Amino acid sequence: MSQEINFDGLVGPTHNYGGLSRGNLASDKNRGRASNPRGAALQGLEKMRKLIGLGLTQGLLPPQERPFIPGLRAVGYTGTDGQILEKAFQDSPALVANMSAASSMWTANAATVSAGSQTSDGRVHLTPANLVAMPHRALEAEQTHRTLSAIFKDTNHFNVHAPLPANSLFGDEGAANHNRLASGHGAKGLELFVYGRDALRGQSGLKFPARQTLQASEAVARLHGLSDGETLFVRQSAEAINAGAFHNDVVCVTNDNVLFFHEAAFEDTALLEKQVLAKGNTLGFKPVFLMAKRDALPLQDVISSYLFNSQLITLPNGDMNLILPIETEETASAKAFVDECLAGDNPITAAHYMDLRQSMSNGGGPACLRLRVQANASQQAGIHGGVMMTPAKIDALENWVRQHYRDRLIADDLGDAAFLQETREALDALTQLLDLGSLYDFQR
Ligand code: SUG
């Protein structure tokens, strides 16, 4: 039987508010605020525990090594690691902030994943995102490739590709711009790629960067061996990007045959619905469109509440549930739409609101924090067991967080050699907990 496994990003010890992501309104608004890495990591672990409690299979992706000293060496800094950090911080706190972001926690941007039911060779294909749009995120691609290759190392079942070429033609943000629609988890269905920009044509009307290109989406579909009949490439609306939807998953989420989205998410909604219906006819699923209209739910409320950055999950009994940020419950228009859906004729039977405020303050909701991987029983057996979560392992990780993480971090802390040492001790202990060997550069 095929299942969806959510691989949540574990928040790293450098979680901070650097204000690094233009077009991400929360990141911009919270620049310079003191963060709470311990609280952030515990909130994320609580979400994982919740999903296990609902009967789902839960995985984890470890944080990356930050501050990233190899990144500073690459731009000319020399000396011991501590000296490099302190000198770079003296020269440019902003450079060190870029090298210190804990942004790998948003694993919806780690890779694009195609289920074996979709790919030409029946294996699960994963392409790590190059994230070229933002310098602090582009740093992630190489380690993500290494981490995914260690976790999905059984090449009989998995094909982990290299990231796409790191240039603006192939700007790739991973699963945050990728949806699947099908009659159920194991069934063949439609892969819906959403891009913000056609890099071979000029584009006007954009106030913020459109991070995902059509060319990247097409390249990933080719690499994964997807057929034309099972793919669709649609454009994000400029209206949504300009309002702060820097990824499509801020305005849309799918699960099985349900598309849960805002009226302003796509450039041409009527065309999208028509195309999805036609594809559904040949692929054997009947789409359910749950669309919120502008009148009842202004885009501004969508962005501040992150309603559509929810996880839409199928429980073992076949019901669907929503995992939402608590901000949705606090936003009257967003909550009203959820209640309307719960009362309506559709598969969603319950909504769970979670406190993820630490991540939300950097523009990352429940859906940003997870990478979905659909796998059948033999594929699941090929996944590195150390990253599969149980309540006991979550207990152990909570203890690890309490032992190693600070509960307050500000920009000035990032340039401190003692803090660098602290983060490395934490990650060293983590690789032992997860049985991942020498995963990081500083361990090699
Ligand atoms: O890429 N924020 C992330 C948030 C990613 C959310 N992911 C999805 N929508 N799937 C980003 O903008 C902010 C970091 C800072 O400012 O310190 C940041 O990287």
Find the mean pLDDT for residues 8-33: 98
**Which residue of 8, 27, 35 sits with most ligand 1 atoms within 8 Å of its CB, as the best mutation to test the pocket?**
27
Q: Tell me: the pLDDT tens digits for 74-102?
A: 999 999 999 999 999 999 999 999 999 99
Task: Report, at the CATH architecture level, how domain 3-66+101-443 is classified.
Answer: 5-stranded Propeller (3.75)
Residue nearest to atom 1 of ligand 1 (CA): 21
Asked if residues 35 and 125 have their Cβ atoms less than 8 Å apart, the reply is no
Asked if residues 367 and 309 have their Cβ atoms less than 8 Å apart, the reply is yes
**Where in the chain are the domains?**
3-66+101-443
Model pLDDT, residue 203: 75
CA-368 nearest atom, ligand 1: 10
More confident residue, 33 or 203: 33
pLDDT band at residue 181 under the 50/70/90 scheme? very high
What's the CA-to-centroid distance between 314 and ligand 1, angstroms?
26
Asked if residues 404 and 13 have their Cβ atoms less than 8 Å apart, the reply is yes
pLDDT band at residue 298 under the 50/70/90 scheme? very high
DSSP letter at 4 equals E
Model pLDDT, residue 130: 98
Find the mean pLDDT for residues 415-435: 98
Model pLDDT, residue 202: 74
DSSP letter for each residue of 298-361: -HHHHHHH-GGGSEEEE-TTS-EEEEEEHHHHTSHHHHHHHHHHHHSSSSEEEEEEE--HHHHT
Calpha distance 416→396 (Å, rounded): 28
pLDDT band at residue 31 under the 50/70/90 scheme? very high
What's the CA-to-centroid distance between 184 and ligand 1, angstroms?
30
Q: How many CA atoms lie within 13 A of 67 on its CB side?
A: 31
- Give yes or no for residue 247 CB within 6 A of ligand 1: yes
Which of 15, 185, 247, 404 is catalytic? The answer is 247
Provide the CA 197 distance to its chain's centre, in angstroms: 20
Which of 4, 173, 191, 263 is catalytic? The answer is 173
Q: Tell me: the pLDDT tens digits for 125-142?
A: 999 999 999 999 999 999
pLDDT band at residue 71 under the 50/70/90 scheme? very high
What's the CA-to-centroid distance between 317 and ligand 1, angstroms?
34
- Give the three-class secondary structure for 389: coil
pLDDT of 367 strictly over 90: yes
pLDDT band at residue 205 under the 50/70/90 scheme? confident
Model pLDDT, residue 163: 99
Residue nearest to atom 8 of ligand 1 (CA): 368
Which of 65, 230, 263, 368 is catalytic? The answer is 368
Find the mean pLDDT for residues 70-75: 98
**Which residue of 35, 178, 247 sits with most ligand 1 atoms within 8 Å of its CB, as the best mutation to test the pocket?**
247
User: What percent of the chain is modeled with pLDDT above 90?
Assistant: 99
**Which residue of 132, 250, 362 sits with most ligand 1 atoms within 8 Å of its CB, as the best mutation to test the pocket?**
362
pLDDT of 73 strictly over 80: yes
Find the mean pLDDT for residues 19-45: 98
For 383, the token pair is: 């996944």
CA-19 nearest atom, ligand 1: 16
* Known catalytic residue at 173: yes
Q: Tell me: the pLDDT tens digits for 247-284?
A: 999 999 999 999 999 999 999 999 999 999 999 999 99
Model pLDDT, residue 280: 98
pLDDT of 220 strictly over 90: yes
Find the mean pLDDT for residues 357-373: 98
What's the CA-to-centroid distance between 279 and ligand 1, angstroms?
32
What's the CA-to-centroid distance between 242 and ligand 1, angstroms?
16
- Where b means 16+ CB within 10 Å and e means fewer, 405-417 reads bbeebebebbbeb
pLDDT band at residue 204 under the 50/70/90 scheme? confident
